[in-house]
Amino acid sequence: MIVYLNGEFLPSGEARISPDDRGFVFGDGVYEVTRAVRGQPFAAEAHWKRLETGLRELGIRTSLDSGRILEIYLRLLSENALEDGEATIYLQVTRGRAPRAHAFPPATIQPTVYAFASRFSPPIEQRRAGVNAITYPDIRWSRCDIKTVNLLPNVLAKQKAVEMGGWEAVLVRDGVLIEGSSSNLFGVIDGELRTYPRTNYILPGITRQVVLELAAELGIPAREAPIFVGEMGRLEELFLTGTATDVQGIVTLDGYRVGDGVVGPITKALWEGLMGRLGSSIS
C-alpha cells in the first residue's frame, strides 16, 4: 500500500512517525474519513470544511487547502488501484513532533499529515437486515463537534456493543440519545424524523446533512430535536448515518425490538436516496 506522509508518497512499511509526535503522546490532532466512488471523493469540500474548523479550533496551522487535499486523495486512489469500485480515505493531522509538554510547541514545529486509502465494500445485506445496538453512557468531553483522534470513550462504547452482540453503541447523555460511537443517530416517532441538533455534543456528520436534505426532497417531516430515553418505546424506526455506515437501520436496542423489528420504510427510502447520491450500487 502506498500512503502519504508529510509531502511524500511511500510504501506503508516505510512510513515513520516519531514517538514524540503529539498525536501519539496527547492524541493532539484531528482526522477525516472520506468515501470515494469510482475514483471520485464524495463531499470532499464538506469534509475539508470540517477539518479546517477542527484545525482552527485546536490552533494547528498547516499549509493544507482543499485543492491540495484533493490532489493527495486522487493520487492515493490511483497509486493503490482504487479508482474502480469504492474506497475510503483516511486523513490525520497532528500538531507534530515536539518534546513532551502540554502547552503548544513553538510555531516553527510542522504538523504531521498522514493519509491512506483502502478498499470499501458496503455491506448491502446488513443494510437491508438491520443491526442490533446497545445504549451506553456518553462519557466524552464537551467538544464532540471536533473530530479529534481522542476516541477512547468511542472505543470503549463500541467494544461494549460488540461484546453484547451489537454493531453500534448509542451514546446517552442526560437522558437523551445523542449519536452513535462512530455515527449520527436518527429516529422516527409519529412519522416524524428526529436527530439531535447540531451542537457541541455531536459530530456534525456529513452524511447526517445529506440525509436531512434527502428527507426534505422526499417530503419526510424532519426536526433537529432530541430523542429522550423515555421515548424509546415509541420509536417506529431508528437508524445510524456515517461515511462508512451509510444509512444503517437498527432493529433492536438493548435487546428490545425497534418498531416492527425490521428496517422501516423511511430508513429504506433514505438509504436508497443516499446510495443514489453516492452513485453506489445496491443491486
Catalytic machinery residues: 147
C-alpha cell at 207: 452524511
Distance CA 227, CA 190 (A): 12
CB of 33 to ligand PMP, least distance (A): 6
> How many residues bind ligand PMP, per CB under 6 A?
13
Question: Is 112 a residue that touches ligand PMP (CB under 6 A)?
Answer: no
Site track 220-249 with ligand PMP (rule: CB under 6 A), x = hit: ---------------------xxx------
State how far the Cα of 223 lies from the Cα of 71, in Å rounded to an integer.
37
Residue 258 is given by DSSP the state P
The span of 17-25, 201-209, 262-270, 274-282 binding ligand PMP (CB under 6 A) equals: 201-209
Binding segment for ligand PMP among 20-28, 96-104, 177-185, 256-264 (CB under 6 A)? 177-185
CB of 13 to ligand PMP, least distance (A): 27
Work out whether 182 is an interface residue with ligand PMP (CB under 6 A).
Answer: yes
Give the CA angle between residues 158, 161, 162 to the nearest 5°.
90
Task: Write the DSSP string, 103-156.
Answer: SPPPTTSPPEEEEEEEE----HHHHHH-EEEEEEE----S-TTS-BS--HHHHH
Options 91-99, 179-187, 227-235, 274-282: segment touching ligand PMP (CB under 6 A): 179-187
| Dihedral of alpha carbons 264, 249, 187, 49, sign | negative
| Cα R_g (the chain), whole angstroms | 19
Interface of this chain with ligand PMP, residues 23 to 42, rule: CB under 6 A: 33
In the complex, which residues of this chain contact ligand PMP (CB under 6 A)?
33, 179, 182-184, 203, 205-208, 241-243
